[in-house]
């Protein structure tokens, strides 16, 4: 295939998902293949079995390779989990020359300085994302290149991850005969697929509901302002259903997908029959009780998300509301629950709630047939593929640091890529 293929590999707790497509000049992705496999070797977003995870990656990638008749050598890969931390940092440089304009090299030097900050033991930086720059005390500058000034400062969002988690991801992907082009935080990847630039400018909170965690990413003024990971998601609901009705988890998962609702409906007399195990009597489960079990867990999750918004200081700053995506966003009436639970008094005394919508990852995806469009659970994978033509943050240092080898791997995990000036510019802005 003559055109460059972009590949996204989402290593989730429930499934390994792969998306392959060809980016066009308008930043859209022409879909050419999807693949998935059960991720038995992943628990709570962390790899606990290398061999099972490697086999799942090979299977998912193989499905795409066979259907699209292509050979996949590399991919953008997701990372998420409770170990992810984000902090805000400020840095500045003084230019030697008082004359002339601020050049790209000045901005790159400032951005690279952020990799010298001290991180917690056992962690590494995966993203350095500029929020805004200051030129000679003129604040709120998004692009300082070309401006005149001596003092250049910047506010940065620094995202770190545990080194051992990163090493396990690199080991699994490498053993599956792939290279990692970029390691990207899952909610940031999902935001590329489902958020609009207008929403990021207005202020919006993305909630990526996965199997074991919920990723939160808050944007305002076109830049990332806050990220967090909440350890409650779809698996918690499944376990609650299984425990409440004393059924197997696969049955509980099917009940959740087909009948669960997060908001009380007119289901007082409706019920669903679950077959008994090994000639045991079948069970009749009232849908009204099922809704109460599901809504109880989701209400707790919404409260945690709302608390995260308040803690980050964005109570009255999300004109774009909340956007829900990921496999867990398929629960019926989930947006109604979010709007109901987040109703409160604003700073000006006005009772309001956050407008909430479901973020389907189709706005930037092209397919020959609508039936070929993947489900909402592929939002992260699609965002990873779209990130091949976009850049979330300055990641050059993290790419060059992945040189570690294992006993049975003689090739370096990452190959250093030569970048020209334009590629550096894209990685910064």
Q: Going by DSSP bridges, is the β-strand pair 6-11/74-79 parallel, antiparallel, or unpaired?
A: parallel
Contact 353, 386 (CB under 8 A): no
For every residue of 360-393, DSSP letters joined together read: -TTTTEE-SSGGGS--GGGHHHHHHHHTTSS-SS
Length of the chain: 429
Residue 198, pLDDT score? 94
Nearest residue to 361 via CA among 322, 307, 411, 325:
325
Q: How far is CA 239 from CA 166, 212, 338, in A?
A: 28, 11, 22
Contact 81, 213 (CB under 8 A): yes
pTM of the model: 0.86
Q: Is 278 left (phi over 0), alpha (psi -120 to 50) or beta?
A: left
Nearest residue to 262 via CA among 359, 358, 332:
332
Residue 96, pLDDT score? 81
Q: Cα(354)–Cα(357) distance, rounded to whole angstroms? A: 10
Mean pLDDT split into 10-residue runs, the chain, 429 residues: 81 93 87 92 90 96 92 94 90 83 90 89 92 90 90 93 95 96 94 94 95 92 90 88 91 90 73 82 88 91 93 91 94 91 64 86 82 87 87 44 38 35 39
Longest dimension (CA), the chain: 86
Residue 363, pLDDT score? 85
Burial class (CB in 10 A: 0-12, 13-18, 19+), 119: middle
Residue 275, pLDDT score? 85
Residue 137, pLDDT score? 83
Residue 409, pLDDT score? 39
Nearest residue to 303 via CA among 338, 354, 345, 261:
338
Q: Cα(211)–Cα(41) distance, rounded to whole angstroms? A: 14
Q: How far is CA 297 from CA 162, 233, 234, 237, 290, in A?
A: 28, 9, 10, 6, 11
Beta-sheet strands, E only, within 262-389: 271-274, 283-286, 322-325, 344-345, 351-352, 356-358, 365-366
Phi, psi (rounded to 5 degrees) for 247? -125, 170
Collapse the DSSP code of 340 into the 3-class scheme (helix H, G, I; strand E, B; otherwise coil) and give the result: helix
Element (H, E) at 91: strand 85-94
C-alpha R_g of the chain = 23
Residue 395, pLDDT score? 44
């Amino acid at each position: 295939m003559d055109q460059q293929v972009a590949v996204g590999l989402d290593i989730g707790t429930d499934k390994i998902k792969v998306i392959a497509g060809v980016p066009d000049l308008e930043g859209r992705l022409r879909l050419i293949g999807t693949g998935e496999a059960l991720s038995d070797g992943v628990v709570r977003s962390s790899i606990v079995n290398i061999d099972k995870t490697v086999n799942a990656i090979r299977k998912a990638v193989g499905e795409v390779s066979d259907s699209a008749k292509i050979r996949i050598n590399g991919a953008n890969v997701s990372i998420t989990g409770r170990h992810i931390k984000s902090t805000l940092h400020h840095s500045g440089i003084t230019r030697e020359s008082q004359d002339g304009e601020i050049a790209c090299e000045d901005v790159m030097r400032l951005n690279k300085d952020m990799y010298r900050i001290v991180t917690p033991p056992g962690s590494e930086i995966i993203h350095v994302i500029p929020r805004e720059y200051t030129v000679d005390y003129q604040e709120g500058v998004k692009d300082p290149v070309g401006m005149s000034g001596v003092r250049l400062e910047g506010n940065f969002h620094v995202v770190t991850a545990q080194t051992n988690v990163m090493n396990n991801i690199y080991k699994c992907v490498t053993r599956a005969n792939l290279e990692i082009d970029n390691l990207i935080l899952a909610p940031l990847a999902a935001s590329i697929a489902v958020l609009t630039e207008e929403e990021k400018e207005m202020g919006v909170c993305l909630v990526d509901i996965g199997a074991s965690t919920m990723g939160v990413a808050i944007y305002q003024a076109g830049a990332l302002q806050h990220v967090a990971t909440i350890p409650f998601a779809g698996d918690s609901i499944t376990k609650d259903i299984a425990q409440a009705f004393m059924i197997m988890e696969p049955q509980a998962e099917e009940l959740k997908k087909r009948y669960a609702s997060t908001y009380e409906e007119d289901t007082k007399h409706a019920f669903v029959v679950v077959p008994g195990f090994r000639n045991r009597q079948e069970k009749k489960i009232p849908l009204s009780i099922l809704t109460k079990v599901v809504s109880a867990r989701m209400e707790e999750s919404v409260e945690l998300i709302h608390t995260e918004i308040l803690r980050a200081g964005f109570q009255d700053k999300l004109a774009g509301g909340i956007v829900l995506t990921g496999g867990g966003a398929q629960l019926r009436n989930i947006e109604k629950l979010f709007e109901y639970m987040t109703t409160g008094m604003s700073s000006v005394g006005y009772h309001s709630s956050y407008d909430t919508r479901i973020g389907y990852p189709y706005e930037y995806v092209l397919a020959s047939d609508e039936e070929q469009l993947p489900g909402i659970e592929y939002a992260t994978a699609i965002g990873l593929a779209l990130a091949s033509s976009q850049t979330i943050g300055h990641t050059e240092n993290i790419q060059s640091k992945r040189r570690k080898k294992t006993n049975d791997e003689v090739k370096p995990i990452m190959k250093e890529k030569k970048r020209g000036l334009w590629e550096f510019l894209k990685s910064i802005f």
